[in-house]
Amino acid sequence: MRDYEPILLRNVGVPEARTLKGYEARGGYRGIRKALGSSPEQIVEEVKKANLRGRGGAGFPAGLKWSFLPKDRTITYLCVNADESEPPTFSNRLLMENDPHQVLEGAMIAAYATRAQVAYIYMRVEFHEQFHVLQRAVDEAYAAGYLGRRLFGHDFDLQVYIHRGAGAYVCGEETGLIESIEGKRGWPRIKPPFPALEGLFRRPTVVNNVETLANLPHLIERGAAWFTSIGPPHSTGPKLFCISGPVRRPGCYEGPMTITVRDLIERPEFGGGMLPGKRVKMVLPGGVSVGVLTANELDMKMDFADPAKYGLLGLGTAAAVVVDTDTDIRLVLRNLARFYALESCGQCTQCREGTSWMYKIAARIAAGAGRRADLDILEQTARNMGMMPGLSICGLPDGATYPIETLVRKFRSELEELIGQQEPARRDAVLQTVN
């Protein structure tokens, strides 16, 4: 691992790489030039061979997603998902802030491969500095003739616009993002039709995450064989991992998807170990929506396959949150439930009502008025929500329920013990206030 060559983060800490001149001096825009020497169909096939899977959370193969576009289309849109609202994920932000031209080059390659004429970069409104950095890069690319008409002298036109969202978590879902770009409330759409057939402005559309696109310049320049040499066969290519919590080196790091959660926490090139006097209680390994691991499950591989063996929703955004043994687990439960109750768009009844009730129950437990039966209700509510039971338009309720269900199931004895230690007078007072 110490010999791993940074690829996606190679320009981080190099200020001149933010500029077009500096980026090209470090090998930038070679990938798009090579791509333009091939047909769009050849690029799609190369990405399929590389098995580049989406880095935004779902892990869907990018080349396969592109191949769903209808062959007879006349207009195609590309939407770049730069919303990055999964707490506490900040890898996309790091790329846009430090290497904006890498993101643009990836968007150019994706647009060429899918024959998209217009690309919208949907950026979270809180990314103020990142917006200005990326906008300067877009302006530089237009001034150099790299965007607009006849990119790099080839018969390919591309317009790029940055669209700033309003900070809604649900707009990280691709159809919610599309609705927001169209100027509507950011509510996910019922599918089908899927965006590949009827997306932005009801035209064929591809939605890709920032980190996914940042892989493309290197994949195209070095080839699918090089890309698949990194990581296991089902999880190929470089990956960015975030880590936060009581570790010595919180931050964003790059590596192959062969590392474990323990590696991410303890290895000196990553988290560097826990802070003095701190011990791991649990880890949310992929952002908060995939579920939780106990301190005995840290050997889970940070790839697209292993999380399912631990009862998790998936790898998610590979942003690990470390929780130490000094933390009251009831507060973790409450904060997780509160986030999703606030971020549910309210379209689907079981999500709107379920997230709200889970938060009310979790808040009551945290306030010292919990009942053991509340844990059963939380688990039952979690099982009855989400796309997987076929009850919701988007995946937000799945993301809302996995952390609640896995936390209650894996830490039930601790929660029951804390509930048993509650003072009856305090519990009755809280229940009177609630009622």
Residue 432 has pLDDT above 80, yes or no: no
Alpha helices (runs of H) in 99-209, residue ranges in sequence order: 100-114, 128-143, 174-181
Residue 429: the pLDDT is 62
Tens of pLDDT along 408-425? 999 999 999 999 998 666
Residue 1: the pLDDT is 54
Choose among 210, 138, 157, 215: nearest CA to 36. Answer: 157
Distance CA 135, CA 319 (A): 26
Distance CA 93, CA 90 (A): 5
Distance CA 134, CA 103 (A): 9
51: three-class secondary structure by DSSP? coil
Domain boundaries along the sequence of the chain: 15-228, 239-324, 329-434
Tens of pLDDT along 73-118? 999 999 999 999 999 999 999 999 999 999 999 999 999 999 999 9
pLDDT, mean over the chain:
94
Give, for 119, the enclosing helix (H) or strand (E).
strand 118-123
CA dihedral 12→13→15→20, nearest 10 degrees, is: -20
141: three-class secondary structure by DSSP? helix
Asked whether the beta carbons of 214 and 237 are under 8 A apart, the reply is: no
Domain 239-324 has CATH 3.10.20.30: no
List C-alpha distances in Å: 54 to 64, 80, 239. Answer: 10, 12, 11
Tens of pLDDT along 134-177? 999 999 999 999 999 999 989 999 999 999 998 899 999 999 99
Give, for 77, the enclosing helix (H) or strand (E).
strand 77-82
CATH code for the part of the protein at 329-434: 1.20.1440.230
Q: Nearest 5 degrees, angle CA 86-CA 399-CA 360?
A: 100
- Of 3.50.50.60, 3.40.50.300, 3.40.50.11540, 3.40.50.12780, the CATH number of 15-228 is 3.40.50.11540
387 band by pLDDT with thresholds 50, 70 and 90: confident
CA dihedral 343→345→346→347, nearest 10 degrees, is: -150
Distance CA 204, CA 308 (A): 32
Residue 431: the pLDDT is 57
Residue 58: the pLDDT is 84
